[in-house]
Amino acid sequence: MPRTRTRNDAARAAQDAQRWASVVAKDKTADGQFYTAVATTGIYCRPSCAARRPKRENVTFYDTCAEAEAAGYRPCKRCKPNELVPGAQHAAKVAEACRLIMEAEVVPKLDDLARAVGLSPFHFHRLFKSIVGVTPKAYATATRQQRVREKLGRSTSVTEAIYDAGYNSNGRFYATATDILGMTPTDYRGGGANAEIKFAVAQCSLGAILVAASGEGVCAIFLGDDPNELVHEVQDLFPNASLIGGDREFEKLVAHVVGFVETPHAEWDLPLDVRGTAFQHRVWQALRAIPPGETVSYAELARRMGAPKAVRAVAGACAANHVAVAIPCHRVVRTDGNLSGYRWGVERKRTLIEREKIK
Query: Can you give the binding site for Zn ion, defined by CB under 5 A?
Result: 45, 49, 51, 76, 78-79
Write down the least CB distance from residue 276 to Zn ion, Å. Answer: 53
| Cα 101 to Cα 108, 277, 280, distances in angstroms | 6, 21, 24
Dihedral of alpha carbons 91, 97, 98, 99, sign: positive
Write down the least CB distance from residue 16 to Zn ion, Å. Answer: 19
| Cα 119 to Cα 66, 111, 164, 226, distances in angstroms | 11, 9, 30, 62
For residues 59 and 40, give the distance between their C-alpha atoms in angstroms, rounded to a whole number. Answer: 9
Q: Which is nearer to Zn ion, 22 or 155 (CB)?
A: 22
Closest CA relative to residue 178, chosen from 148, 155, 133, 154? 148
Q: Which is nearer to Zn ion, 81 or 108 (CB)?
A: 81
Q: Are 117 and 97 in contact (CB under 8 A)?
A: yes
Write down the least CB distance from residue 43 to Zn ion, Å. Answer: 7
Among 49, 79, 219, 329, the one annotated catalytic: 329
Q: How far is CA 167 from the centre of its chain?
A: 18
Q: How far is CA 18 from the centre of its chain?
A: 41
Q: Which is nearer to Zn ion, 12 or 78 (CB)?
A: 78
Among 45, 65, 98, 318, the one annotated catalytic: 45
Q: Which is nearer to Zn ion, 35 or 139 (CB)?
A: 35
Residue 49 is a catalytic residue: no
Q: Which is nearer to Zn ion, 81 or 192 (CB)?
A: 81
Write down the least CB distance from residue 48 to Zn ion, Å. Answer: 9
Residue 98 is a catalytic residue: no
Residue 14 host element (H or E)? helix 2-25
Helix (H, G, I), strand (E, B) or coil at 182: coil
Q: What is the dihedral of CA 41, 44, 49, 53, to 10 degrees?
A: 40
Write down the least CB distance from residue 39 to Zn ion, Å. Answer: 15
The residues annotated with a catalytic role in the active site are 45, 329
